[in-house]
A and B are shown apart, each in its own frame.
Chain A
């Protein structure tokens, strides 16, 4: 998952993101971004995420852990 931060930053339309960043605090955070993350992780890592799981993961690092746990 070496490009994870770059990929997620792109989906969030941010220059740079850190693992401790809170997902909800990003300006672009909404249902469409969540769907983009679901589609992205399905395509790149073959995982199926739900909106609830993504919201519960709280941070960028939490999201990474969620995806890694399903791979």
Chain B
């Protein structure tokens, strides 16, 4: 199927990436007893999905805490100047409040200038791509020169500890990506698709205005597979996610490469959103991409923190290369919405590309 929404941007670049991780490390084995499965079966799941340790934020940690901590670090290190920030885009599904926007909260806590835009966007698995598109669009304006893209989520708070389907893979974290204008006439090719009929494939059913949280929505119930969760918890239809990803992502990437007149061989790394190791391997198999070109080690080390998974993969796998060299990267995000999006762009000579613990 031909993709209709192809986006092209020029003269934009990423100049730095910082990933902020909660210091609290939780091991898969420590949570096994919560699950309604034998130890042997849980260990088999661990192996197949690539579960090991994940980063879980403390109960009182918020998305704004992670972002403010990371931004203050960048100011201290002189990687970023407060007055240079023309826009703050926050992609999150775990905001501090329903209102006001959490990006405004962050702006206020940091004492940033008023002459800027703060924008919250409700997106998850494709949040890095959606955030970059928004950053690129803002940078089309003559007076917008530097955009700070924040991806942050602490969705572990919404996942039932007794849900073997979602709990082992979830992770918390935040990332800061600096996006700027570039003098080089580079071309960035992108595409995006959405399918809102799949809105319930990944969701938190209660807690919004349609179904406010109540003692009833907090009631834990067992599903057919033996997982316990309430309507206040995140629920994922794993089989539908798998089928959706296998069906939609390979043609999306094929189309992106074709419309950009590029080959798989020219791409240094396919930095994809990482739901789990199993899914990434199956994608690589289907697309005939070698495993070493599509890193799948985020979930086993940190967990899947939605839109933060690609910045995490970058900081974990290629931070040194990206500081000294230029690389041709393919990003792809897919999940909640349903939303799927991909980007082909050069990234390199970054001012910084590292982890920070909170």
Residue B45 CB within 8 A of the other chain: yes
The contact of A30 among B37, B238, B240, B285, by CB within 8 Å, is B37
Stretch at the interface among B150-158, B191-199, B207-215, B241-249: B241-249
A9 CB to closest chain B CB (Å) equals 17
Number of A-B contacts (CB under 8 A): 46
Contact A39 B242, CB 8 Å, known A30-B37, A31-B165, A31-B225 = yes
Whether A48 touches B44, Cβ cut-off 8 Å, given contacts A35-B239, A43-B282, is: no
A50 touches B224 (CB 8 A): no
B residues less than 8 Å from A34 (CB atoms): 239
Q: Check B165–A48 contact: CB distance below 8 A.
A: no
- A50 contacts B243, C-beta separation under 8 Å: yes
Chain A residues whose CB sits within 8 angstroms of the CB of B119 once the complex forms:
none
Which of A34, A43, A48 counts the most B-chain CB atoms under 10 A from its CB? A48
CA distance A38 to B307 in the complex (A): 26
User: CA–CA, A51 to B227, complex, Å?
Assistant: 15
A35–B165 Cα distance when bound, in Å, is: 11
CA distance A44 to B99 in the complex (A): 49
Separation of A30 and B41 alpha carbons in the complex (Å):
8
| Chain B residues whose CB sits within 8 angstroms of the CB of A55 once the complex forms | 224
Q: Please report the C-alpha to C-alpha distance between residue A43 and residue B283 in the assembled complex, in whole angstroms.
A: 10
Per the 8 Å Cβ criterion, residues 1-59 of A in contact with B are 28, 30-32, 34-36, 38-39, 42-43, 48-51, 55
User: Residues of A with Cβ closer than 8 Å to B?
Assistant: 28, 30-32, 34-36, 38-39, 42-43, 48-51, 55
Chain B residues at the A interface, C-beta cutoff of 8 Å: 37, 41, 44-45, 48-49, 164-165, 224-226, 238-240, 242-243, 246-247, 278, 282, 285-286
- A sample of 13 inter-chain contacts (CB < 8 A) reads A30-B41, A30-B226, A31-B238, A35-B242, A35-B278, A38-B239, A39-B278, A39-B282, A42-B243, A43-B285, A50-B239, A51-B225, A55-B224
